[in-house]
Structure 1
Amino acid sequence: MLVTSKNLELKQRLLGECLRIQNVQIQTAKSAMDEAQESANEHQGAGIEDKFESFREACQIQRDMFAKQMDEAITGLAILKRIVATKENKVITLGSVVHTNLQKYFVSASVGEINLNGEKYFAISTMSPIFKAMADKTSGDTFTFRDKQYHIEEVF
């Protein structure tokens, strides 16, 4: 199927929404990480050492968990920034919008469900099992994932 400016506009809107979601995840993780660090610092040097030492340790573990989430979100953002939303994809690869008989996908970062104009899209990463099943296929091809047969209706 011929890629229209409407398709490229949709791809750009999907990319914009993924970028927005990824930036929110980064800010949320950073705020939570800073808050956990602040809690640990507030209890530093308090009187009953053992009790507060384990509390501070728990705060540090929590901070590290949020730091890991922030790193993953930053990595996702870097992947999103590599996508050229003005380019047509004939083969399923990073940046492709894929319409199948069962669902619609945007191969980008693992952001989850995105709703645009009442249409549901799933933003998936190139590391996801469903992407691996559809990679390098094109319009008209089929693939099987979790015992379901998918027919690729359109790729752009």
Structure 2
Amino acid sequence: MMREKLLAKCADYVEERVSRLQSSIKDLEHDLGNETKSSAGDKYETSREMINTEINKLQNQLQSFKKLKEVLAVIENRKASTTVQLGSIVKTNAANYFISIPVGEIKVEEEKFYAIGLNSPIGKLLLGKQEGEQFIFQQKEFSIKKIL
């Protein structure tokens, strides 16, 4: 139940970002279409090139978010495990983590979770750990209390 709620919040985050990026790309493409050639040809070409560069940058970001959607789909089909893996909810003595995609802080049922990717520094430390194990992050000792 908690996992589904966390997944839904992560999916909402990705969808909102994808929607914003698509809107920005559409606006830039519209601007590109409205760019008129002036007698100052170099200025026209420079302006078009700047718009194209920005469109390419946004399209790359869009691709990144589409990959995050794929990660969420993988998590959705994963079974719970006794060791920390992609899709695990990890409760420690200091914070709660959802091993998924890098979203940051998420609040579910008045409880705070940090949605982090496996490649994050803390995600790498948690991977493969079990309940009761400890790890040190930024000179602070953490103890894993529960894995869901």
TM value normalised by structure 2: 0.92
Any runs of at least 4 consecutive aligned residues in structure 1 with deviations exceeding 6 A, and if so which? none
Q: Secondary structure at the match of 1:95?
A: coil
- Structure 2: 5+ residue runs without aligned partners? none
Would you say how many aligned residue pairs link Structure 1 and Structure 2? 148
> What's the C-alpha RMSD, in Å, of the aligned pairs?
1.5
For residues 51-66 of structure 1, the aligned pairs below 5 Å read 51-66=43-58
Q: Secondary structure at the match of 1:39?
A: helix
For residues 34-45 of structure 1, the aligned pairs below 5 Å read 34-45=26-37
- Structure 1: 5+ residue runs without aligned partners? 1-8
Q: Secondary structure at the match of 2:18?
A: helix
Distance 1:44 1:93, change over 3 A: farther
CA contact (8 A) 1:92 1:98 kept: yes
Q: Secondary structure at the match of 2:105?
A: strand
Of residues 47, 55, 62 in structure 2, which corresponds to 1:70? 62
CA–CA separation in structure 2 for the residues paired with 1:35 and 1:70: 15
Please say which of residues 19-28 and 86-95 is displaced more in the overlay.
86-95
Amino acid at match of 2:126: M
Q: Secondary structure at the match of 1:38?
A: helix
CA–CA separation in structure 1 for the residues paired with 2:106 and 2:79: 21
Are 1:33 and 2:25 counterparts? Answer: yes
CA–CA separation in structure 2 for the residues paired with 1:39 and 1:73: 24
The percent identity for this pair of structures is: 27
Q: Secondary structure at the match of 1:154?
A: strand
